[in-house]
């Protein structure tokens, strides 16, 4: 299901230092992450003997359905609820949110639900995923990869609706702001700035935040400068990048700029442009007031197959998902790809045996020296939660 197919929000910001990662065996430092070796068992095999004896052998993996009772499918966006998210609603810190792009028919660009998964040992069978938000239409909705959570208790989600699942019937998009009880508090619609919110990433400092949003129809990226005033979000918008290639696509509806990852320390925004089949960097993304053209390519490799979501790994590398709408190879389907910020390929693994399964990705800390890597599989309408440890 190429593109009938989903970065993650907050997880797109660098949060850890490369020197803090890896597994020690004797004097050698060995990275034992699932991405680098492509085999979950490698993570276990590299753990020091005394740690392995004290713990479990099998990896911690949860596979859960993203289909809610109304039958929505095609999971796109993935976002974690942050540790300091306020109480008073259905969301708890560590919960995982997933947005659905399709309705039950399925027609792309008609999904109205955000489901919630608490990553414990319980999984949701198909048709029983817990619903955080279910929108009503009209106006039309088609919830996208643009999904993120603000520390002050708000959830952001993009919508790019269609009437029949095709490029020709794409409707004007919007960015919804929900409170922690899933009530819509604002709907942002600007024809020249938020015409088609396809993905986003957030740099969140509490009372202020920068939200970067890719627009798939216009091939642009917009920065939202958000301030929480009297408990409500106040937003100003600035277009900062333009010129990405946009293409109609029968399977994916549309190809254009998708995944975003922001490095606050260097003020560089990284952009996964699906139709360009490349990763770009945009300097001064948090401050510029006039749009640049695309930015500079940092990674354009035969391992890319229409990159979609984009997040930072805890070691500072970048991770993208291949949607297989460009440079497709049936022997390398639905891959999650890791590479450095200077464009060195590191490794990959696939989430599905068929093409078009990989889309949204989330990464977040989960205790001391532990992280959760969460890709969706659009082909099976499921979310996969890997809990990875990084020994000292």
Instruction: Report mean pLDDT in 10-residue bins for the chain, 392 residues.
Output: 39 38 29 36 33 66 97 98 95 97 98 96 93 94 98 98 97 98 96 96 98 98 98 97 97 96 98 98 98 98 97 97 97 98 97 98 92 97 92 56
**Distance between CA atoms of residues 53 and 75, nearest Å:** 38
Do the beta carbons of residue 77 and residue 360 sit within 8 Å?
Answer: yes
Which CATH number is 10-278+292-325+334-389 given?
2.120.10.30
Do the beta carbons of residue 69 and residue 104 sit within 8 Å?
Answer: no
Q: Which helix (H) or strand (E) holds 34?
A: helix 34-37
With CA atoms as reference, report the closest residue to 238 among 194, 271, 200: 194
Pairing of the two strands 292-293 and 232-242: parallel
Task: Please tell me the predicted confidence (pLDDT) of residue 159.
Answer: 98
With CA atoms as reference, report the closest residue to 369 among 36, 17, 37: 17
Task: Please tell me the predicted confidence (pLDDT) of residue 391.
Answer: 61
What b/e readout covers 4-18, taking b as 16+ CB neighbours within 10 angstroms?
bbbbbbbbbbbebee
Helix, strand, coil shares of the chain as percentages rounded to 5?
A: 5, 45, 50
**Distance between CA atoms of residues 101 and 86, nearest Å:** 27
Phi, psi of 19 (to 5 degrees): -70, -10
Q: Which two tokens stand for residue 121?
A: 């040992």
Pairing of the two strands 174-179 and 154-159: antiparallel
Bond before 137 cis per omega within 30 degrees: no
Phi, psi of 135 (to 5 degrees): -75, 160
- Would you kindly state where each structural domain of the chain is located, as residue ranges? 10-278+292-325+334-389
Task: Please tell me the predicted confidence (pLDDT) of residue 369.
Answer: 87
Residue in this structure with the two tokens 């106040």, named with its chain if needed: 234
């Amino acid at each position: 299901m190429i593109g009938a197919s989903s970065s993650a929000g907050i997880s797109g910001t660098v949060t850890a230092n490369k020197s803090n990662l890896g597994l020690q065996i004797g004097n050698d430092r060995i990275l034992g992450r699932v991405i680098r070796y492509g085999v979950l068992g490698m993570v276990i095999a590299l753990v020091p003997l005394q740690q392995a004896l004290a713990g479990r052998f099998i990896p911690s993996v949860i596979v859960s359905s993203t289909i809610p009772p109304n039958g929505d499918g095609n999971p796109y966006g993935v976002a974690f609820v942050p540790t300091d998210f306020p109480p008073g609603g259905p969301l708890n810190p560590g919960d995982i949110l997933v947005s659905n792009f399709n309705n039950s028919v399925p027609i792309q660009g008609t999904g109205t639900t955000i489901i919630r998964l608490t990553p414990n040992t319980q999984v949701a069978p198909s048709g029983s995923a817990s619903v955080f938000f279910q929108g009503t239409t009209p106006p039309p909705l088609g919830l996208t990869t643009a999904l993120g959570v603000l520390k002050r208790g708000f959830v952001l989600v993009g919508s790019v609706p269609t009437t029949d699942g095709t490029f020709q019937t794409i409707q004007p998009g919007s960015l919804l702001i929900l409170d922690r009880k899933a009530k819509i508090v604002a709907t942002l619609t600007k024809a020249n700035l938020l015409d088609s919110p396809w993905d986003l990433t957030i740099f969140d400092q509490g009372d202020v935040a920068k939200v970067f949003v890719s627009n798939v129809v216009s091939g642009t990226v917009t920065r939202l400068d958000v301030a929480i005033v009297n408990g409500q979000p106040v937003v100003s918008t600035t277009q900062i990048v333009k010129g990405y290639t946009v293409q109609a696509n029968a399977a994916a509806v549309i190809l254009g700029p998708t995944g975003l990852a922001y490095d606050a320390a260097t003020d560089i925004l990284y952009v996964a442009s699906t139709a360009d089949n490349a990763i770009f960097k945009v300097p001064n993304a948090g401050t510029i007031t006039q749009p640049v053209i695309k930015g500079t390519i940092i990674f354009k490799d035969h391992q890319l197959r229409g990159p979609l979501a984009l997040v930072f790994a805890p070691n500072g590398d970048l991770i993208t998902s291949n949607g297989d709408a460009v440079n497709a190879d049936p022997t390398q389907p639905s891959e999650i790809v890791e590479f450095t910020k200077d464009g060195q390929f590191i490794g990959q693994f696939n989430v599905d045996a068929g093409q078009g399964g990989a889309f949204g990705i989330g990464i977040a800390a989960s205790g001391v020296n532990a992280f959760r890597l969460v890709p969706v599989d659009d082909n099976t309408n499921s979310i996969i939660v890997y809990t990875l440890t990084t020994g000292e």
